[in-house]
Amino acid sequence: MSRKNLVVALALAWLIAPLPAAAADYHHVHITTASPLQAVGWYTRYLGCEALTDRTDAVDCYGTEVVFVPQTTTGSSQGTGVDHIGFSVADLPAKMAELEAVGVRGSGVRLQRNDDGSTWRDVPGLFKLAFIFDPWGTRIELVEDPETLGFHHVHLSAADPAATLAWYRDVLGGQPASLKGRLDGVKFGGVWFLVTPNAEGEPGTTVERAIDHIAFVVDDMDASVAEFRGQNVEFETEPAVPEGGRTAARRAFVFGPDRVRVALIESGFAGMDTDIGSTILTTELDSFDPPQTPWGEPDLQGIWTSSSAVGIPFERPEGADGEVTAEEAIARHEGRLLGGIWGYEREWRDTTLEYGSAVSTQMAMVIDPPDGRLPERVAAPARALAGDERAPRRAVTPGGPEDLSTWVRCITRGLIPTPGGYNNGLQIVQGPGYVAIQREMIHETRVVPTTPQPQMSNSISAYQGSALGRWEGNTLVVETTNFNGGASFRGTTENLTLTERYTRVAAGVLEYQFTVDDPTVWTRPWTGMFRWDLDPSQYELVEYSCHEGNYGMTNILSGARARDAEAAGGQQ
C-alpha cells in the first residue's frame, strides 16, 4: 500500500471509529482561585460569561461551565496537560484593544505580547488569535472564529498528540473533526479539544495548577465505569458523592493521558460547598490569660502577621452594618491584593499572604466613632498647615531627594502598620523595662521603655516620634508624641498624640488598637483596630533592602535634572 493510501486509510479509520457505549459530554473546566466571587466577576466582565443565579462559584460561558474552587496552586496552566482554554470573539483586534486599555492593575488582564510587541496575530487559513491570562494563572486563547463564538476549545499539551486524541475519542466519545482543515481534534458538542506537542516531552500535572481538572458528564455512571475499566483506564477516586456536594450526583476522577486529571460526573452535579478558610471575628473573644515573662509581664513575644486583615476598609462603607460573610471577606481580601500586586505569579502571592489562613470579617478598621467613620475635620484656618492641607509640594520637578516622599527615600512606611499586599510581619521582643517592636516593612524597630523616663524635650522630634509604654493589666499601652510631621498618617501633623494598645486576646491573636488625637486636623480623637495572627511555623522577617537597587530615586532625580536643563535651554 502506498503512503498516500495508508494516510487515507488511517484517516477513514479515525472518522468511522465506533463511539464508546457510554459516551460522555464535556461539562466544565475547574479553575483554582483565591476567591470565587472575584473570579465570577472577572469572567463575566471580560469574557462575557454569565453568573449563575443559584451559585456563586461558577459562570456559564455560552453553555459551558467554568467552575472556581479556592485551593492552593503550584503554578499557572502553562506547561501542563491542559495548557489553556479558548474563547472566540467576533472582532479580535477590537477585543484586544479593549483589554489593553483595561491594563493589568486591579483585577485587570495580563496580555501575552508577540515578539514585535503586538497583542494578536493572524494565522492564514485559520484565524486571528491572541493570548491573555486571568489573575489566577489560567492561560486563555482568544480567537476570531465566527463559526463557534463563545467558549471555543480546550487546548491540550501532549507527549504523543495522536495517542491523546485517540484516548478522548475512544474513552470519552469525542467526535473526530478537523478545525478549518488545519488542526485535527475531537469535538464534544460545540467545544473543540485540540492538542499540540509539549516542548519538554511529558507535560506537567494539572493537579493543583490553575486548571486543576476538566470534567465530563455521563448518563450512566456505573456503565461508564465498567467500560472504562475494560479499556484499562486507571481511577484516582471511585464514584461517590463528594464531601459538601450540593446534590446526590456522584463524581469520580480518572487519570487521563499527559497527567491530566479528568472528572466523571453524573447529571445534576452542581459542585460542592467548600470551606473557603477560617475567619477571625471582630466580636468579643473568650476571656484569655496571656502567658507571663519570667519578670512578670504579659508575654507578647513572637512573629505576628496582619495578612488576615488585608482588605478591611478603613472606614465603614455607607449603609453597611454588622460583619461581612466569610465569602465576602475572602473576595475583598483578594480584591485588595489584585489592586496592588496581581501581576506577580500566583504561587508567590499565595505564599506571601499565607493562602488558606484566617481572613478577617471585620466591617471596618475605625471602631470609634461608633459609626465607623472618621470624625469631622476642623475648619480653616485652624488646619491651614495640617497634614494634607499644608502648602503644596514642589509641583512637578523635585529639586532634590528631600522633595520626594519618605517611601521613595526608604526612610519609613509611616506611623501605623496597616496591612498591605506583602511584608505584614511584626516581631515583638521583650526585656525587663523594654519592648522592641520591629516591622517587616523597612525593618523599622521601635524600642519602647515601659518604666518612667526623663521628660523628652519638645525640641527633639522624629519621623516616628518618641514613645513611652506602660502596662494596663494585660495591655501594653504605648503613647507617642514629638513627631516631626514628615510621615503623616491620613493628614496628621507634628501635633499628633498616638496611643497604641497591644492586647493578646487569644493564644494566637494580638489585638492592635490605635487612637489618633490631632486637634489641628480632627474635631475629636478617633480609634482604629485590627488583629495580628501568631505564625511560628513559617513566617519570618527577611531582609528588606529598600535602598538596594533603588533605581526609582536615581531615575526620578536624573529625569528632573534633564527637565531643568531643557527648561533652561528654552529660556536662553
Q: Where are the domains positioned within the chain?
A: 27-266, 291-304+371-572
Calculated CA dihedral for residues 148, 152, 158, 163, nearest 10 degrees: -50
**Structural class in CATH, domain 27-266:** alpha beta
**133-to-27, 82, 93, 140, 395 alpha-carbon distances in Å:** 22, 14, 17, 6, 38
Question: Does residue 556 sit in helix, strand or coil?
Answer: helix
Q: What is the full per-residue pLDDT of the chain (572 aa) written as tens digits?
A: 443 443 334 343 444 444 454 567 899 999 998 889 989 999 999 999 999 988 889 999 988 999 998 877 778 899 999 999 999 999 999 999 999 988 766 567 888 999 999 999 999 999 999 999 998 889 999 999 998 899 999 999 999 999 999 999 999 999 999 999 889 999 999 999 999 998 888 999 999 899 999 999 999 999 999 999 999 999 999 999 999 999 999 999 999 999 999 999 999 999 988 766 566 665 567 778 889 999 999 999 999 989 888 889 999 988 887 778 888 888 888 877 776 655 555 555 555 555 556 788 899 999 999 999 999 999 865 544 444 443 344 445 788 888 888 888 888 888 899 988 778 889 999 999 999 999 998 888 999 999 988 876 667 899 999 999 999 999 999 999 999 998 999 999 999 999 999 999 998 899 999 999 999 999 999 999 999 988 777 678 888 878 777 788 888 889 989 988 888 876 65
Cell of 469: 509604654
DSSP characters for 94-162? HHHHHHHHH-STTT--EEE--TTS-S-EEETTTEEEEEEE-TTS-EEEEE--TTS-EEEEEEEEESSHH
Question: Residues 6 or more apart from 366 whose CB is under 8 A from it?
Answer: 314, 315, 316, 372, 373, 374, 526, 527, 528
Question: pTM of the prediction?
Answer: 0.77
441 φ/ψ angles, rounded to the nearest 5 degrees: -70, 120
> What percent helix, strand, coil does the chain show, rounded to 5?
20, 30, 50
Query: How many residues appear in the chain?
Result: 572
444 φ/ψ angles, rounded to the nearest 5 degrees: -75, 135
